[in-house]
Structure 1
């Protein structure tokens, strides 16, 4: 996969298809393959005539692994996304993020609205404002050598996911310590980019999609029926809603 530099950090990305560009930003402990290629998003979007760019966030996938939490704020990672657009000489693009990627997409949209045509916040609703829970049990689960000691359900699920994806657990722990920056209602009220908020109806992590959409100046909701946080990303209802939303630009 091709690579580029953002603030001296080497990051990997994919760039497939032709047409209007859409930048995809994956969630925590995931990567461009697991979040976007395997669930069929790249095929769906390229088939619909879009140029698909998907980044591996720092510490994830094929990108450089860092171990200092200070290097992993969502704001910092949003600047990585902007740097990728600069690298590819793309003036503006559609942007879609899932979970942590949605938070990164929000920072990108707030700070560089001229670069974002429309934004999709997948897997994150009111948790963008109020938070998505205590990160410490997840950090502890990622750092421990003895899996049998993990009692926290969410922590254990992220540890298992990290092992299934062959991720660097220490890099993920550093990321988890810094990446869950909340965004205030006041800031989100000033969002200048049309948004789609898509959350599974069984998602216990994301928070309410409607509550987030009610705060945004121009937003709509896609309730992904019967899906939790981990499986909503590849749902056909989600894909249909995104294609309709993008086509209205």
Structure 2
């Protein structure tokens, strides 16, 4: 059996294919046999390839094993990723690119089923800050603080305060932050489900960072809002006593 390489050299030790990668490998081998065969045929320049499948897969490379009508001519091709790929979508897109090249070079009318599958995947990326959510959160905090401290608020704020009291909004914002803490806990379990049900779509480190960020933001932010709400309640109680 011969072994050849893809477009780039193999670097580093191979990571054993376990868990999600094994499931992904099995899925690709079962659903995209025609594309894998074309990739092997095009890379080896051997039209006698009758079957091809991924024998090993990790986040830095994969090994494509191919078989021909003559067993003595069977071989393997090592394809390296330019950088470690962490999601199912990234791996499928990489293989899809190889399939596109093979279809073009061989002038084949085979449909690139890998590209179709890749388009269905979502990139699950951890973002340190949820910009829209944070913007709304801090806007609410600023509004509550302004409404509480201003003796002559601007007209938009006055209009809002004519409908609902300062205490109402302070309490509303307080529970919004409580919800953010709850959201962090829910996100944690959702991510655990995603990481088990949809292999390689999100890593364990993503789960931890996403949940930790949501919980931490909620704790620190809710502290300020709770303090503000309590001050408003105390102020309201004092004003009632005076009256």
Query: Which TM bucket (shorter chain)?
Result: under 0.3
Q: TM-score, normalised by structure 2?
A: 0.25
Structure showing greater radius of gyration is: 2
Q: TM-score, normalised by structure 1?
A: 0.24
Greater strand share, 1 or 2? 1
